[in-house]
Structure 1
Amino acid sequence: MARTSIWQRILDHSHRADPYPLYAELRETPVVRAEDGSYVVSTYREIVALLHDPRLSSDRRHLAEYGTDASAEAAEEDSAGLPPTFIQTDPPEHDRARRLLTWNFGPPHRPDRVDSMISDMLGIVTSEIDDFAGKGGSGTTRIDLVDDFAYPFPVTVICQLLGVPRDDEPRFQAMSDAVVKAADPTTGGIAERQRRRSKAIADLAQYFAELLDARHGPPGDDLLSGLVSGEGPEAPMPYEQVLSNAALLLVAGHETTVNLIANGMLTLLRHPQVLDRLRRGDEPDLAARVVEELLRYEPPVQFLSNSRTTLDDIEVAGTTIPKGSPVTLVLAAGSRDPDFVSDPDRFDPDREHNEHLGFGGGPHYCFGAPLARPETRIALTELAYRLKNPRLVEDPPPYRPSPSLRGPRHLLIEIDGVGPARQRRP
């Protein structure tokens, strides 16, 4: 019987609760070849170098060009009639699409977009925590932090940002789940996963097409309206590209933040001294530092599975990755690399010079980072302040199937009640 590789053990769901000892083993060989023929890179400096290396392409069409087993993807995208999303392209195509999206999302053209949503974010969080009070009467209350809080909060926010009706959540969530499943390397070969992903994105794009067709009157102030109305010096974005990128942003805009909030509360409950500091509220920058350390210590995206292709032979840590090879970058392993960060397995929000790979890096640095940071900061701060004596019911909790988008499927917590919302200056 063949010996199970470290990478196979990492993918095995039985290790989902704590993959970090396996990542330490993986880092002993910075580049390994996986059973599917892809190359897995796990050390910090090597990952950073590759994220900035133009010889590593994000355009999945190169997999077909170099004759890998993902050659069916190009035909699948053609049949769907959609161009790749902007994260599946390289500069300069990527840069133009990203500029158009950024024009309607954030600085320097819309510097107030996220800031203007802070009040609404606080209102959503306050309402959801208020609902906890009615679940258990005057005694002990049991809540599922994922279903009751970490999921509905970012879904509501991304719907507001994109201009999607919140009532449509049951419809688009099934398609979103299909996109996430397609990214799971345990669910088939590269070509099969790419076909499923293309189909799921196409279904979401069809949803957005129907949504836009049903709109009447002047454009709204949401991101989708901005893209369709053609604001910006390089506008308009082609209609099909609007659809594919809107589908991507809807999925990415909540799936990862759900994990970040759930992983964050789980970590705080395991580190009650930090939770107490956050509850006291006398350290103005503590919440921001907690979020940055969570992105390093328990990131929602553990690795980018077969998301890059080499355009040339590339030597990495003494190993030559041949031209045309799929590459997986294990961001979570890199962020805990002891050759880069001291005492990496300790959760320490007071860590100085906290550089991490929680949002990736290079040209494809996470587009939604400016939104995910305040969402998580507000969520964890309000939970810490208002929940009375929160404690875990089950540790470790059950985890979602995906090894790459890693987070609790449920996070059961018992509380002794809910305190009043904080008084804030107008």
Structure 2
Amino acid sequence: MTTTEKPGTLLRILDYSSRADPYPLYAELRETPVALQEDGSYVISTYRELTDLLHNPHLSSDVRNLSHPMPSHEGETTPAFINLDPPEHDRLRRTAMRHFGPPHTPGLVTGMESDLTATVGSLIDDFAGKEQIDIVDDFAYPFPVTVICHLLGVPREDEARFHVWVDALINAIDYNPKTDPKEKLEKGVQARKDLRQYLGGLVEQRHGRPTDDLLSRLANDDGPDGRMTDEEIVSTANLLLIAGHETTVNLITNGMLTLLRHPEVLQRLRDEPGLVVPVVEELLRYEPPVHIIPWRAAYSDITVADTVIPQGSQIMLMLASGSRDPNRFHDPDRFDPGRRDNQHLGFGSGIHLCFGGPMARLETQIALTELVRRLDRPRLVADPPPYRRSPVLRGPIHLQVEQGDG
């Protein structure tokens, strides 16, 4: 099988002009399931090949296994477990999960439902009297930020500080030395240092003074795998802080945008609140919050769709493309909450399946249910809305909605 794609398809996907609708370009990309790029990296875009790789033990998540270093990871001494391989990945994930979900804390997520509903209700109460609302600034951002700060034990009043750092980190994820100013990378590297120093200070305060938050539990609990080092706790907290709100902001915003584009589904959800569970699952397939895993590394030579990918090669996984693959999903470009066998890639797959998926699902289910129930005849102000710069974590930067008579 050839490994050359249509010239420039990936570059067009990464270009900001395609952010509002990359899906036709994903269809082009799928014509060549394994596409060799000019820089020697490989792009994987079809469902079968993506799922095979995500479960392949020869695929590494550790940047140190790449033949060429990744500039965006410069200065990273203790990677988060999402960027590690077994057995270290397994140890750190197990230790974190002891305090975040089953089997040790099975009721953590479901036990927050009433608090989440109250937070959502309070935010929507503030819409009163407003003819126009920004779903991002007024709702989809403050909601998950409040939740993850509470879970971790990060002061909510510090949000303005870490918001700047998180933005710089995300902007640097897809840094390309050929096309991007070096300032973009430098800001990302400095933001990583600043955020880790900030979180390190919070961890240091927790030693010997246990409370109920996750930072305190990690700093004071000796589980079966032993206690994390402070550096490991900081890396884990860094991951959860970023992933715990950035992806959920996108999922809620993409969800509201999709419902407003499909008023018949919005009305059904208003009439049948229980429909929200399959609605959110279909959103994770149809308009996911994470579109691309920018890199993985080949431990050894890997054969994918009759193409040999050499050891050390960078591999880019186009998750959103796989979830629209017509060889796996019937009529994939149609938003269908009644879809059966919806094994999407919205939260990835394999050992790195999204750690916070259960929380993101519940937050989005509550958010969309209440928005649909309480907004008065909502209408989009602009379609498409303005999008964030990142092709990796894709979602509107603003979503202006009118309500009432207008």
TM-score by length of 1: 0.89
Aligned equivalent of 2:18:
15
Match of 1:113 among 97, 108, 115: 108
Aligned equivalent of 1:83:
78
Q: Take 1:389 and 1:17, find their aligned partners in 2: how far apart are those partners?
A: 24
Match of 2:148 among 131, 154, 158: 158
Aligned equivalent of 1:222:
213
Query: 1:53 and 2:56 equivalent?
Result: yes
Structure 1 residue runs without a partner (length 5+): 418-426
Secondary structure of 2:101's counterpart equals coil
Q: Take 1:261 and 1:73, find their aligned partners in 2: how far apart are those partners?
A: 29
Secondary structure of 2:327's counterpart equals coil
Q: Take 2:13 and 2:19, find their aligned partners in 1: how far apart are those partners?
A: 7
**8 Å CA contact retained: 1:36, 1:189:** no
Q: Take 2:39 and 2:239, find their aligned partners in 1: how far apart are those partners?
A: 26
Structure 2 residue runs without a partner (length 5+): 1-5
**8 Å CA contact retained: 1:179, 1:200:** yes
Query: 1:288 and 2:291 equivalent?
Result: no
Aligned equivalent of 2:3:
none
**8 Å CA contact retained: 2:206, 2:219:** no
In the TM superposition, residue 101 of structure 1 has moved relative to its aligned partner by 0.4
Q: CA RMSD in A?
A: 2.0
In the TM superposition, residue 4 of structure 1 has moved relative to its aligned partner by 5.1
**8 Å CA contact retained: 1:269, 1:390:** yes
**8 Å CA contact retained: 1:185, 1:305:** no
Query: 1:390 and 2:393 equivalent?
Result: no
In the TM superposition, residue 317 of structure 1 has moved relative to its aligned partner by 1.2
Secondary structure of 1:343's counterpart equals coil
Letter in 2 for 1:332: A
Aligned equivalent of 1:423:
none
Q: Take 1:189 and 1:83, find their aligned partners in 2: how far apart are those partners?
A: 28
In the TM superposition, residue 229 of structure 1 has moved relative to its aligned partner by 0.8
In the TM superposition, residue 35 of structure 1 has moved relative to its aligned partner by 3.5
Q: Take 2:71 and 2:11, find their aligned partners in 1: how far apart are those partners?
A: 24
Secondary structure of 1:40's counterpart equals strand
In the TM superposition, residue 156 of structure 1 has moved relative to its aligned partner by 0.4
Match of 1:303 among 284, 292, 298: 292
Letter in 2 for 1:7: L
Match of 1:101 among 93, 96, 100: 96
Aligned equivalent of 2:334:
346
Q: Could you give the per-residue CA deviations for residues 19-48 of structure 1, whole angstroms, max 9, x where no partner exists?
A: 001100100000112233211000000000
In the TM superposition, residue 171 of structure 1 has moved relative to its aligned partner by 0.7
Aligned equivalent of 2:173:
183
Match of 1:38 among 36, 41, 44: 41
Q: Could you give the per-residue CA deviations for residues 225-248 of structure 1, whole angstroms, max 9, x where no partner exists?
A: 110012422121111100111111
Letter in 2 for 1:390: P
Secondary structure of 2:337's counterpart equals coil
Letter in 2 for 1:237: M
Secondary structure of 1:305's counterpart equals strand
Match of 1:370 among 336, 339, 358: 358
Q: Could you give the per-residue CA deviations for residues 146-204 of structure 1, whole angstroms, max 9, x where no partner exists?
A: 000010000000001101111000011111112211212457689x7887655433321
Q: Take 2:299 and 2:104, find their aligned partners in 1: how far apart are those partners?
A: 34
In the TM superposition, residue 398 of structure 1 has moved relative to its aligned partner by 0.5
Q: Take 1:339 and 1:177, find their aligned partners in 2: how far apart are those partners?
A: 36
Query: 1:249 and 2:252 equivalent?
Result: no
Number of aligned positions between the proteins: 398
Letter in 1 for 2:16: H
**Cα gap change, 1:199/1:87 in structure 2, threshold over 3 Å: closer, same or farther?**
farther
**Cα gap change, 1:216/1:241 in structure 2, threshold over 3 Å: closer, same or farther?**
closer
Aligned equivalent of 2:258:
267
Letter in 2 for 1:108: P
